[in-house]
Amino acid sequence: MRNDITIRIAGEGGEGVISTAEILTRAAVNSGLDVFTFRSYPAEIKGGLAMMQVRMSTEPLTSIGRDADVLMAFNQEAIDVWGDRMSPGGILLYDPRHGSVPPDYPFAHIPVPLHETAMKETGARISKNIVALASMVNVLDMAPEYARDLIVKQFKRKGDEVVGTNLKAFEAGLGVLNGDPRLQAMRLARPASPGKSDDRMIVSGNQSLSMGAIAGGCRFVGGYPITPATQVLEFMMKHLPAFGGNVVQCEDEIAAIAACMGASWAGARAMTATSGPGLCLMSELIGMASMCEIPLVIADVMRSGPATGMPTKTEQADLMYAIHGSAGESPRIVLAATSVENCFQEAVRAFNLAERFQMPVILLSDQSMGYRTKTIMRPRADGLRLDERVRAKTSGDAFRRFEDTETGVSPTMIPGTPGGTFVTTGLEHDELGHASYTPENRARMVNKRYRKLDTLRRELEADGDGIFDAPRGAEVGIIGWGSTEGTIAEVVAKLRGEGVNIAHYHPRVLNPLPVETVKRFVAPLKKVIVLEENYTGQLAQHLRGHVDLGKTEVVRVNQCSGLPFTPDEVNAAIAANA
Amino acid sequence: MRNDITIRIAGEGGEGVISTAEILTRAAVNSGLDVFTFRSYPAEIKGGLAMMQVRMSTEPLTSIGRDADVLMAFNQEAIDVWGDRMSPGGILLYDPRHGSVPPDYPFAHIPVPLHETAMKETGARISKNIVALASMVNVLDMAPEYARDLIVKQFKRKGDEVVGTNLKAFEAGLGVLNGDPRLQAMRLARPASPGKSDDRMIVSGNQSLSMGAIAGGCRFVGGYPITPATQVLEFMMKHLPAFGGNVVQCEDEIAAIAACMGASWAGARAMTATSGPGLCLMSELIGMASMCEIPLVIADVMRSGPATGMPTKTEQADLMYAIHGSAGESPRIVLAATSVENCFQEAVRAFNLAERFQMPVILLSDQSMGYRTKTIMRPRADGLRLDERVRAKTSGDAFRRFEDTETGVSPTMIPGTPGGTFVTTGLEHDELGHASYTPENRARMVNKRYRKLDTLRRELEADGDGIFDAPRGAEVGIIGWGSTEGTIAEVVAKLRGEGVNIAHYHPRVLNPLPVETVKRFVAPLKKVIVLEENYTGQLAQHLRGHVDLGKTEVVRVNQCSGLPFTPDEVNAAIAANA
Amino acid sequence: MPEAALQKAKDYKNDVEPIWCPGCGDFGDLAAFTQALAAMQLTTSDIAIVSGIGCSGRFSHFIKSYALHTAHGRALPTAVGVKTANPKLTVFVVGGDGDGLSIGGGHLPHAARRNPDITYLILDNAIYGLTKGQTSPTSPFGMVTGTSPTGLEDPPLDPLRMFLSYGVGFVARGFSSDVKGVAKMVQAAVEHPGFSIVQLISPCPTFNQVITFDFMKERVVPLPESHDATSLDAAFRMALDAEHFYTGVFYRNDSLPTMEAKLDVQRKHTMDRQPRTLDALIAQY
Amino acid sequence: MPEAALQKAKDYKNDVEPIWCPGCGDFGDLAAFTQALAAMQLTTSDIAIVSGIGCSGRFSHFIKSYALHTAHGRALPTAVGVKTANPKLTVFVVGGDGDGLSIGGGHLPHAARRNPDITYLILDNAIYGLTKGQTSPTSPFGMVTGTSPTGLEDPPLDPLRMFLSYGVGFVARGFSSDVKGVAKMVQAAVEHPGFSIVQLISPCPTFNQVITFDFMKERVVPLPESHDATSLDAAFRMALDAEHFYTGVFYRNDSLPTMEAKLDVQRKHTMDRQPRTLDALIAQY
Ligand SMILES: Cc1ncc(C[n+]2csc(CCOP(=O)(O)OP(=O)(O)O)c2C)c(N)n1
Ligand SMILES: Cc1ncc(C[n+]2csc(CCOP(=O)(O)OP(=O)(O)O)c2C)c(N)n1
Ligand code: SF4
Ligand code: SF4
Ligand SMILES: [Mg+2]
Ligand SMILES: [Mg+2]
């Protein structure tokens, strides 16, 4: 019996592999387990090898986990591709009708007559998915009612007969693997308080981010579909109008960011969601929004780039572009959400920061976090604080829209406000907003706009941000950003349990950098590992570019395979340096 | 008598101010002087205050110089705006009919009856420009025949009468300022060998860059007009077809870079020239060209940004964007030309590097260098080495277009080559070019593409690049990039003359950085000043991000007023730190 | 300016002096525009002008209004956002032929499909003015410019036919010298519910020596009284007419649903089907 | 493959297996395309296929040729560069309705003005296929998709009318089930000197349940024999026809000068007037 298990279900895309895994996921959630899923997509549009990984635990999960404890392989390709990537002691389940195990296969393997059982019980080939589901429920020793309820729910619309057939397959499937003693080790402890608690839900990072945006007061979305961010646009399209908002699918990403900029200028909290190629097209107008001090939220669900790259694979390689991604110098805030749960929180914060500092905020997520699903606490609408752009008290011809204030933030007003007028231009302008090219005005206004970042930097240094977990005496530290948070935290906790003292820093605001905080973290360390899912070590460059790291040795650990770091990989990276 | 003088001519735009200054410039060149000019543009489309500065010397010039020794002010605004910015001992010349000098004006000022003389001699108001020209020739003690010849040339087309009138104005103008002893100090020594030598010419940075591109084998230009890069497009449009090339004015910058990419893929050496907003729009396809290993040259004549900014003002603020300017990670080479003369050389090098390394090369210039004119040595066509992309020896189905070689460079062939075929895709691909998403292939191909930069880095470290002027014992060094080279070099030379030992490093390839070279320069120094015409200190960030600068203190000196650094400003910056 | 008083044309002009060359065609458009505003007695704080980049793009700086001087070619999609977020504003888009038909041309068909209640004035001088004279998509065949030193060899686009083929519900053409006529056209365009485009021929004496005031004056002919602006066929025909260069309202169809109306419908449908509070939404997961 | 031997359609197909869903309309276009290549006996190494991003954009991966699979919406301007630099290549552009009419739509009028000898195949499934089903500019009114959950409220664009209004010299429409017909159309398009566009209705059974094969089969009608493809008027009329959804060549005008020819003229003029060597050029300064 165990508290934590990772299973994988793999087979031909479009043939029910993913939906089988999804029912299992939901059954686990409903039974009260914590769940963390991950999907691997084929390059093909339909078909090709699909895989869904489901990690389940009685304890809160923070990472994707290790390789599979149990692999359910629907076909030969699934065995060939995923069969090697097993945890020690892992077990391969496969349908002997659709695959065979190589002679020297190093892991335990048990044939499961999925097809045969399905045909015998129901005569329908397709119900082998339900047989597979049932056999997993059995292996995991999960109370079967959760899966059974979901089957009923799923097939209800198709009539009683279909429900009956599937239930029959399910009951039969529960029995097929009875008795094999090797499977004992895969039995999962049942949750202390069984049943899904009302304060939890299971969502993807993209869903969490979208909900956070709505919670953050987003009322305009201009977007253009792009993997892996399309779900955000579709979620908003489905839901935002019910909150009184507007969603426009635009002709391209330039139009999308333009529409957002226009909407925000006209008073709405506006967002777009995109990925690499789309972010490229937004470059000019993000710079303009910064110049014109227009609040904007741009969610970038990063994928493997550059160019079309690998749209369904993950990467953390847009950081430098997010920070420096317009010609000239344009202050902007860059946030990186760190978990499915945090996607919600950072989305709320993104809107608040955009409004407070009247500038673009780029919120980084990534494919692996956007698509993974996870049980998280239900966020609550009450108690959320929404900041608004500071409103001017005066208006009229002498209204200084771009007043040079101590914080750099100028009170503003919304177009349409009676009695007012002003001009907003991407040309350099004076406090009134009129075009001005004098050297003095230029130097002053650039400084004014950048001062806003200094204001925020000081706040971050004072208030803290993200994980700053620096136990006394640690000589080695690890810095990560974005979706690796849970994995690093898990490994760090494990190592501490083993007596290895490691510090962990995981900021969420990456621009501006809280320079003093970084220094405080790094100073006591002999060595700091900067771990990133990219090739060139972007955070490492950014940190070194802005912070004097003194004598601390900087070790870059990078991976850009398209897959997220696993705890084992993080563990190995630390082991090599601690 | 002096060897070096800076004069300014200022007045209402569109009324002959600039053309007067241009005739003077050319006369100076023809007389054998070295000339360095700079223009300031009004924000207005036509009209507004225009100013052209002409520095002349018997010795080779390297910088814009200091404030004016002589200011010729055509109107009151010219006195008001430029009258204060004078060198010590400077003299203001003004037409009493069109302006008056404030009571407490601190500089010498001499009225010149431009209007009156013109009306008296010719009856034509417009010929006051020629009177002004003549009076400058007189003040400078320049042999009058050079200006006279140019007047004849200029007006020849309009008939003998017009020529006659203007010559009359000229002769009269030569006399108007005779006798004032204060002007003695402004007499300029005559060149040792008078007359323009055949191996020199006067061109702007944009012209030099365009000629360099043609010399570098450019045979395709796709462009879209944008200040201050339009002149490159227009120059190429005028001349490239005579070299068998093609120039296409595209519908926007996306189409321009796309056309260049297509042309280069199809075998032509291709370039586009743009500035900030246009570079933004090229972001996606520059990343794609990197991914697809297509040679490309992008000349970025930087202007004050972000957004529309100040199109006619200078800035060095696109460095980070040039390096990091596409989502994801896409290796590219970034060069910064350092002088009018060097624009030619770097343009040639840009094409060679693009071809050799099959990647985009971004060549940075800026408004101040692009528009300034300067006497330079005539480059010679013979002896130029042109590198071509390495050609594959085999073709056919198994042709490994993206072969993973030691240098990272894969031999290629040009579409249309008989017997061959291949696919080039922005998707991640294997050596053959076929789409591939496996983690192993991904990691390998990213590495392969970046390896090309490592190859170049090692070359740069071995061969040197730009100015590396590090005298023994220097404890303070200055690092600059781009168009500040001459100004810094001039100040450093002057300081050394005064016994202040300063080191100067001015690399021209900014990405990849020759890390070992930077270290070698910085290591012996106590303090290194990084001087840039931007706000955030981009080269400083870039250097620190990539090079461990040890204990050397980094001091950033930044200016982002829209104007280039003057020698006095550089001098002050060094003085404050040396 | 007390907003209740009767506004004259000049009351809509602010203190910023246009930076245009003397004699620029854009002055006529500016005069006509303020006349149209006065004719409609619009409240200055209800006006939003979104402009592109070009000499013409500076237009928005000169009018008392909320003005957004955006990037080259992006005024139209920006205005779509403005109108969506704040539909009570009377939204104008102003820009040049390069801005609207070259770099920004891709946005037009999609704005037409959406049909926001926006009035778009294209100040067409058949040249790139601000960048000092290069060919634009409406430059005439053979014209010599900085980017066509041997004479332009491509034919100009035919903007009116394009707008009609996109399904734009109000298509008109005016000539900036005809201030009164342009003012009327602008007013009609604003009164049209939905997307309206007015192409305003506005010569650039500085850089275009072909499409001059004189050249245009000789050619411009008002659409015949008999022209039926409700007929798409007739509109196409008059736009195509090789002999006459017509001005006036070529096409007007007031019955197409506007973007704002369609978004309202979408909102209503969604409210009927989906949770309206965050807690209710979250409770679904 | 010895290039002299007679090529069959299948000889133009390479070994890469299409990643399209079973039943995808793009298969028919691919078959027709190879047939057209065979009919013309093109040499594989003289073919360049530039494609956009979408399911349809993968087209170029499957043909023996020099293929450039570019960015979303940028195949056409890329191909302009390819053709300019290497005019002996037979250049195709292939992409989807989203790629070509939405994000890439701004390039079309300008390609039409230039008139490069390129053949553009738009594989129109009235949906965004690769991103799993959102509305495209040709999606029908009312369609429910991921981005129109309450039904699309905007009308579709009318691509043919647009192309005609841009002055494209060859405009045709085919239906991917009609492999022979499409092959012929593609061949005619290639033979047309200048820019040609063929809109190929290619249903997406996975994400578009409205514009299906059956739906199309019921509606598609070949242009009447009597249709005069040299008449722009007639072309507009047939494109507009509300009752029939015609396929065939709507318009063909072979007399427009091509981009390549115009560039040659420009080159000749320039050679006559400007220095032809670097030294001579430099000597001017
Ligand atoms: C992205 C971008 N590309 C190019 C420019 C440079 N630019 C400024 S205005 C302009 C064209 C002006 O022509 P038009 O739109 O016809 O306006 P006009 O000046 O003639 O009124 C161009 C190319 C720019 N500002 N931004
Ligand atoms: C700049 C950019 N934006 C968005 C995308 C995502 N994307 C890929 S294909 C596609 C649209 C596909 O539709 P269509 O062009 O009609 O091709 P189809 O798949 O239907 O053949 C989109 C939006 C992208 N790759 N690049
Ligand atoms: S350049 Fe032409 S369009 Fe621009 S302001 Fe002058 S006259 Fe007007
Ligand atoms: S999604 Fe549609 S268009 Fe794409 S391959 Fe499948 S059927 Fe074809
Ligand atoms: Mg114009
Ligand atoms: Mg499509």
Element (H, E) at A68: strand A68-73
Q: Is the confidence at residue D1, as pLDDT, over 50? A: no
**Alpha carbon distances (Å) from A479 to A492, A510, B464:** 11, 12, 35
Q: Which residues, 6 or more positions from C247, have their beta carbon under 8 angstroms from its beta carbon?
A: C172, C173, C174, C175, C178, C181, C201, C220, C221, C222, C223
Query: Residues C123, C125, C131, CA angle at the centre, nearest 5°?
Result: 100
CA distance B512 to B515: 8
For chain B, the chains sharing at least 3 beta-carbon pairs closer than 8 angstroms are A, C, D
Min mean pLDDT across B181-185, B487-491, C97-101, D158-162 is at B181-185
Q: Whole-angstrom Cα distance, residue B297 to residue B354?
A: 7
With contact defined as beta carbons under 8 Å apart, do B278 and B254 qualify?
A: no
pLDDT at C4: 60
The secondary element (H helix, E strand) that includes residue B487 is helix B485-497
A169 reaches C (C-beta below 8 A) = no
pLDDT digits (tens, 9 = 90+) for B228-273: 999 999 999 999 999 999 999 999 999 999 999 999 999 999 999 9
Looking at the CA of B426, which ligand is closest? 2
The lowest-confidence range among A162-176, A190-204, B24-38, B343-357 is A190-204
Cα–Cα distance for residue pair A108/A91, rounded to 1 Å: 5
State residue B178's pLDDT score.
86
Q: Are A83 and A110 in contact (CB under 8 A)?
A: no
Closest ligand by atom to A13 CA: 4
What 8-state DSSP symbol labels residue A187? P
B242 CB near a chain C CB, below 8 Å? Answer: no
Q: Are A263 and A221 in contact (CB under 8 A)?
A: no
How many helices (DSSP H) and strands (DSSP E) are in chain C? 10, 8
Q: What are phi and psi of A51, to 5 degrees?
A: -145, 135
Query: pLDDT by residue (tens digit) across D126-149?
Result: 999 999 999 999 999 999 999 999
Q: Which of A344, A386, A396 is nearest to A365 (CA)?
A: A344
DSSP state of C145: B
Interatomic CA distance for residues B166 and B155, integer angstroms:
8
Give me D211's structure tokens.
Answer: 């514009």
**8 Å CB contact of C266 and D153:** yes
Helix H, strand E, coil C: the string for A263-298 is HHHCCCCEEEEECHHHHHHCHHHHHHHHHHCCCEEE
Q: d(Cα A296, Cα A305) in Å, to the nearest integer?
A: 24
Q: What DSSP string describes chain D? A: --TTSPPPGGGGB-SPPP-PPTT-THHHHHHHHHHHHHHHT--GGGEEEEE-SSTGGGGGGGBSSEEEE--TT-HHHHHHHHHHH-TTSEEEEEEEHIIIIIITGGGHHHHHHH--SEEEEEEE-SSBTTTTSB--TTPPTT--BTTBTT---SPPP-HHHHHHHHT-SEEEEEETT-HHHHHHHHHHHHHSSS-EEEEEE---TTT-SSS-HHHHHHHEEEPPTT--TT-HHHHHHHHH-SS-EEEEEEEE-TTSPPHHHHHHHHHHHHHHHS--SHHHHHHT-
Query: What are the distances in angstroms from CA B45 to CA A299, A329, C22, D121?
Result: 39, 25, 10, 44
Mean pLDDT of A166-195: 91
Q: Using alpha carbons, select from D231, D43, D197 the residue that is nearest to residue D121.
A: D197
Task: Tell me: cis bond preceding B411? Omega within 30 of 0 counts.
Answer: no
Q: Which ligand is nearest to the CA of B233?
A: 1
Residue B355 in contact with residue B409, Cβ under 8 Å?
A: no
Please give the helix or strand (H or E) that residue A11 lies within, else none.
Answer: strand A4-12
pLDDT band at C2 (very low <50, low <70, confident <90, very high): very low
Question: Over chain C, what is the mean pLDDT?
Answer: 96
CB atoms within 10 A of CB C99: 31
CA dihedral B223, B229, B235, B238 (to 10 degrees): 40
What's the rounded mean pLDDT across residues A84-92?
94
**Cα-Cα-Cα-Cα dihedral sign, residues A412, A415, A421, A425:** positive
Residues A506-542 pLDDT 10s: 999 999 999 999 999 999 999 999 999 999 999 999 9
What average pLDDT does the segment C234-249 reach?
92
Report residue B213 CA to chain centroid gap.
14
Inform me whether the C-beta atom of residue A304 falls under 8 Å from chain B C-beta atoms. yes
Nearest 10 degrees: Cα torsion D119, D125, D129, D130: -10
Q: Cα D224 to the chain's mean position, in Å?
A: 23
Do the strands B373-377 and B200-204 form a parallel or antiparallel pair, or are they unpaired? Answer: antiparallel
Report CA(D168)–ligand 4 centroid distance (Å): 28
Is A211 in contact with A379 (CB distance < 8 Å)? yes
ipTM score of complex: 0.97
Nearest alpha carbon to residue C158 among C219, C233, C239: C239
Residue A561 has pLDDT above 80, yes or no: yes
The overall average pLDDT reported for chain D is 96
Q: Dump pLDDT digits (tens) for C249-271.
A: 999 999 999 999 999 999 999 99
Minimum-distance CB partner of C134 among B45, B249, B307: B249
- C-alpha D16/C-alpha B421 separation (Å) is 13
Closest in A251, A259, A435 to C61, CB measured: A435
Distance CA(D223)–CA(B524), nearest Å, equals 82
pLDDT in tens, C65-74: 999 999 999 9
Q: Whose CA is nearest to atom 2 of ligand 4?
A: D204
Q: Ligand 1 test: best mutation among C24, C55, C94, C99, most atoms within 8 Å of CB? A: C99
H or E, element range at A52: strand A49-57
Residue type, B176: V
The side-by-side arrangement of strands in the sheet containing A509-511 is: A246-249, A220-223, A270-274, A296-302, A360-366, A333-336, A509-511
Task: Give the integer Cα–Cα distance in Å for C172 and C175.
Answer: 11
Number of H helices, E strands in chain A: 19, 21
Whether the Cβ atoms of residue A345 and residue A317 lie closer than 8 Å to each other? no
Q: What are the pocket residues of ligand 2 if the criterion is a CB atom closer than 6 Å to any ligand atom?
A: A 224-226, 253, 277-278, 281, 308; D 53-56, 72, 96-99, 123, 125, 127-131, 136
| Max CA distance (Å), chain A | 85
Give every CB contact of residue B1 below 8 A, 6+ residues apart in sequence. B141, B187, B188, B189
C-alpha atoms less than 13 angstroms from C-alpha of B48 in its C-beta half-sphere: 13
Strand, coil or helix: what is A159? Answer: coil
Contacts with B516 (C-beta within 8 Å, 6 or more apart), sequence order: B461
So what's the pLDDT on residue D2? 46
Structure tokens at B548: 């461990």
pLDDT tens sequence for chain B (578 residues): 899 999 999 999 878 888 899 999 999 999 999 999 998 877 677 778 899 999 999 999 999 888 999 999 999 999 999 999 999 999 999 999 999 999 999 999 999 999 999 999 999 888 999 999 999 999 999 999 999 999 999 999 999 999 999 999 999 999 999 888 999 999 999 988 888 788 899 999 999 999 999 999 999 999 999 999 999 999 999 999 999 999 999 999 999 999 999 999 999 999 999 999 999 999 999 999 999 999 999 999 999 999 999 999 999 999 999 999 999 999 999 999 999 999 999 999 999 999 999 999 999 999 999 999 999 999 988 889 999 999 998 777 789 999 999 999 999 999 999 999 999 999 999 999 999 999 999 999 999 999 999 999 999 999 999 999 999 999 999 999 999 999 999 999 999 999 999 999 999 999 999 999 999 999 999 999 999 999 999 999 999 999 999 999 999 999 999 999 999 999 999 999 98
* Closest Cβ–Cβ partner in A44, A230, A252 for D73: A252
Closest to B332 (Cα-Cα) out of B378, B291, B385? B291
The SS3 assignment for A355 reads helix
Which residue did the predictor score with more confidence, D215 or C2?
Answer: D215
Going by C-alpha positions, the residue among A437, A449, A452, A480 that lies closest to residue A567 is: A480
Which of C185, C177, C179, C244 shows the shortest CA–CA distance to C217? C177
**Rounded Cα distance, D164 and D234, in Å:** 11
Judge: C84–A425 Cβ closer than 8 Å, yes or no: no
Paired sense of beta strands D220-222 and D196-201, if any? unpaired
Q: How far is CA D50 from CA B265, B304, D71, D114, D205, in A?
A: 11, 36, 10, 18, 25
Q: How many CA atoms lie within 13 A of D38 on its CB side?
A: 17
Burial classification of residue A88, based on how many CB atoms lie within 10 Å of its CB (0-12 exposed, 13-18 middle, 19 or more buried): exposed
Total Cβ atoms within 10 A of residue A194 = 13
Q: What whole-number distance in Å separates Cα of residue B359 and Cα of residue B293?
A: 5
pLDDT at residue D4 tops 70: no
Residue B9 contacts residue B72 (beta carbons within 8 Å) = yes
Residue C158 CA to residue C239 CA, distance in Å, equals 8
* Phi–psi pair at C34, nearest 5 degrees: -65, -35
* Residue type at A529 in one-letter notation: I
What residue owns the CA closest to ligand 4's atom 5?
Answer: D20
Say yes or no for a CB contact (<8 Å) between C134 and B307: no
Which residues, at least 6 apart from B15, have a Cβ–Cβ distance to it below 8 Å?
B74, B129
